[in-house]
Amino acid sequence: MIEVQLARLQAASIAAEVLAGRISAVIGAVDLNRLRPSLDVSDDDPEFETFMLIDSECEGLPIGPVRQYWSAEALVRKAPFVAHAEQWAMETGRDAFQRVVERFAAVA
């Protein structure tokens, strides 16, 4: 149970960082999806379905650490798509990120 509590605190931290603008909404969704198995949430949890949607829709874009593997030319070419994806991810995920903070920030 301690592991679940720690994972939930980490999830709340990630979501709060996204809401504060310190982490990309796309990266936050990806990170939360990776953490999902440790959180003891249902397979049809609405917040995590939102994060899966964001992750899926933005897959293949140069966002986050993968940018280092892209050429400068490709990054310039993809910049408008990345900007649009980031905006869409935040609009789509804002409520889900907020609910994760509310659900998991105080799991003591």
Tally Cβ neighbours within 10 Å of residue 21. Answer: 9
Predicted confidence at residue 107, as pLDDT, reads 58
Nearest to 27 by CA among 88, 86, 84: 86
- Tens of pLDDT along 46-79? 999 999 999 999 999 999 999 999 999 999 999 9
Whether pLDDT at 2 is above 90: no
Band (96; pLDDT cuts 50, 70, 90): very high
Which tokens go with 102?
A: 């509310």
Query: 84-106 b/e with 16+ CB inside 10 Å = b?
Result: ebbeebbebbeebbeebbebbee
